[in-house]
Amino acid sequence: MNRLTTVLLTALAPMAWGTTYLVTTELLPAGHPLLAGLLRSLPAGLVAIAIGRSLPRGSWWLKSLALGVLNIGAFFPLLFLAAERLPGGVAAAVAGVQPLIVLALGSLVLHERIRPLTAAAATVGAGGVALVVLGPAAQLDAIGILAALGGVTATAVGMILTKRWGRPEGVGPIAYAGWQLTAGGLLLLPLTFLIEGAPPQIDGGAALGYLWLGTVGGLFAYTLWFRGIQRLPVIAPGLLALLSPVVATLLGATVAGESFTPLQAIGMTLVLGALVSGQLVTRPKPVPAVPGAAESALVRR
């Protein structure tokens, strides 16, 4: 599979996640964000394991737990805490700095050289996201900002470790995603009932929303996402993550009737420019599926 196809398939993941805000506000019961995270992860993870017919072995039990906690279990609660204490635009703007975090961690852990054009693309992309989602009445909250930064840092570390450890030989991307979704979902299970209590009554619209989040936003998106992280330079999916707030804003304007300003159009142009330029200046370095081979390649650099 060529580089362009891999990039386009990986981009489908943050685009799917961009639908989360609209689905949550229009279809799901209010006040139960952890339940949404739980139903987005655990059922999808169990289905993925059943499809992939593979369980972790040896050290991969701990590795899967660590990746599941970082990418799913820690990210969702921090995301929801940020959403409760910050306007959506501020939380999304903070998330826009993730490519910069990935760039720094990629240099420290993976020894990937920071190219000036790549750093510029990450910076411009973060600024573009801010223009897209920040309004003039944006309010800041210290705890909310820390929660948002903690969430994007957790997923950034998860991306780096996903790249660093590779994927066990003979394990497909669906099973690999299933391990992480299940681990994250199991962490969310007790938190959901301790914090939110019993689940609310679920009508047809809510059932459809949870189904969408679990299949398209869960199983489908995370399978493509983890696969893309392993096949592309780590900053490439880091930049593609900026598509999520862009899609959320476009859906808000076209479906929910929210206003769309010229400043937001400029921001989207900057984000798209950063995405394209960032993909062009990064050169793919194939990562073997066997972790040992990946580690040997890192030593040789």
Give residue 292's pLDDT. Answer: 46
Note whether 185 and 38 are within 8 A (CB): yes
Query: How many domains does the chain contain in total?
Result: 1
Question: pTM (2 decimals)?
Answer: 0.81
pLDDT tens profile 183-220:
999 999 999 999 889 888 899 999 999 999 999 999 99
Q: Domain range for residue 146?
A: 3-300
Q: Check residues 82 and 202 and name the one with the higher pLDDT.
A: 202
- Which residue type sits at 7? V
Mention every residue, 6+ apart, whose C-beta is less than 8 A from residue 188.
Answer: 34, 37, 38, 41, 42, 72, 73, 76, 77
**pLDDT tens column, 91-142:** 666 677 888 888 888 888 888 887 888 888 888 877 877 776 666 555 667 7
pLDDT value at 285 more than 60:
no
Average pLDDT over the chain, rounded to an integer: 82
The pLDDT of residue 41 is 93
Query: Which range, 15-19, 66-70, 236-240, 245-249, has the best average confidence (pLDDT)?
Result: 66-70
- The predicted pLDDT at position 287 comes to 47
Both tokens assigned to 194: 């301790």
Q: How far apart are the first and last CA of the chain?
A: 25
Q: Tell which residue, 31, 14, 17, has the closest CA to residue 206.
A: 31
